[in-house]
Structure 1
Amino acid sequence: MTGFGLAATDYENVKFAVEIKSLNSKFLELNLKLPRAYSDKELLLRNVCSKDIERGKVNVSINIERSDDTQKGATINTKLLTKYYKQLEEINASLGAPNAANLLQTVLTFPEVITYTEEQADENEWNVLQETFLKALSNFNQFRADEGKVLRTDLELRIQNILDFFAEIDKLAPLRVPQVKARLLQFLEETVGKVNYDQNRLEQELIYYIDKLDITEEKTRLKSHCDYFMETLKSKDANGKKLGFISQEIGREINTMGAKANDAHIQQLVVGMKEELEKIKEQLLNVL
């Protein structure tokens, strides 16, 4: 959900600049900074952003630069300043006080001596600003779309890596039963001898172990979850949260397979699958 969009437009003696930046967030957190003259347009701009930006901590900054500084700024009321200044001089003279060097500076702090002209919104300028804003928003969305293509390629690679590990586990899983049977036979022969153990009892124990080691259901569900993840990834809808839920289900199946592994090589493959899944979860923070 990280993104960046910038647009600038020169209109007569005014330059409009709009910058949009976003970071990851579970919800839409919009911080809008715009000139005071256009404060009444804030709700309109927020509505536009909420429709185009579903999630993320978004900062929108709108700046206006005017080449003609006489259109705004401070205005000095010379008549009022002169009146205050003469009154202070008369007071100083009557009191016999020396003429203060900072007398003028003191007068400038008096009420209404300096007034500030509020910048007025112009309809034509607003139209230009709105076009600039929409252009920045378009650049922002394009940035996110380009980043999304990279993320999609990476996520597809991670899922494929999990499936590759899964294929290796699928080959090794059936080999565990003969190994367990061989270990049990060796243990019985070493402890009670070949002719002193109950063959039926051995078969019962083998069935118990086979059931404990069986990961057929986990393999089926894992394959199904991975396929569903890939299918959802191809959708044009915003499915970041949905992909997060699917990745949690993938993690459950991987953990169960690891608990039932009873084989060092399979455990190593499970660790590899977990590593790929963690990378997927990190990347999903950037997916809408």
Structure 2
Amino acid sequence: MSDSNKTDFTNPSTFILLGTPGLEAAHIWISIPFCTMYIIAILGNFTVLIIVKRELSLHGPMYYFLCMLAVTDLVLPTSILPKTLSIFWFNSREINFSACLTQMYFIHCFFMMESGIFVAMAFDRYVAICNPLRHSSILTNPVVAKIGLTVVLRGGMLILPYILLARRWPYCRTNVISHTHCEHMAVVKLACADTHVSNYYGLFVVFCVLALDVFFITVSYTQILRAIFRLPTKDARLKTFGTCVSHLCAISAFYIPGLFSSLMYRFVQNVALNFHVLTANVYLLVPPTLNPIIYGVRTKQIRDRLLRLFSHKET
């Protein structure tokens, strides 16, 4: 007897995104913090870009990296939230197969770029605090441009195998993704083939690339903190230490949920699907919301320029 409920296809024309399985009745309520964070991220990161562009005194390595971070933080939530909100608000669950793979590429590519930008920013702060006299000679504009190009190319090339492998797998039985967006492992788990290559490559990216980024950031900030405690005055130590702590909080908010979500998909089987989904959304929405506040508002030059901008409008 044939199984009429079984779908048999190699490449489906569309996938169906469920949203947050088990929490469908709460989709409208979940959309409120998601939408609020997205609006803050868009306004905050655009503000950083506009201020740095208009203020010539901010045209330096630290602010160029901050602009790269802002662009990444505009793309990351934009790659998922419009579709997520269409699921929550209009029950629009279908996504084209190619669009799904494109979304997957943007999510992971820009996540990888942001990791590289954090490494570059940590290096910039290391040189500025530990070797300030050579900062301008080490981080020249051509060097900053090369670092930026390396970050972009690294992200684009490392994530390309995700898409090439996902496209070649046969998908059968179901095209339903228990997620709000086309997360890599959520899609790969639908394949009816041996997907160990995808899994192993994903683990390589996590342990050999992202872990290396975390290592370089840790080394940089360890040296920075050692230099801070050698500063002559207590006020200088506290001021610089406070800035470093806020930066480390932003970095932690980026890496911890992202690594946790990636490893949980591969190694933890008894966690509720909706927890998987919400965690995956946290690492794509929270850092873009926090970064313009932590790196922008807490940076004196940007804060002063922002206050001048508002004071001019009031007069």
> When the two structures are superposed, what TM-score results if normalisation uses the length of structure 2?
0.28
More strand by proportion, 1 or 2? 1
Query: With CA pairs under 8 Å and 6+ residues apart, which has the higher RCO, 1 or 2?
Result: 2
Q: Greater Rg, structure 1 or structure 2?
A: 1
> When the two structures are superposed, what TM-score results if normalisation uses the length of structure 1?
0.30
More helix by proportion, 1 or 2? 2
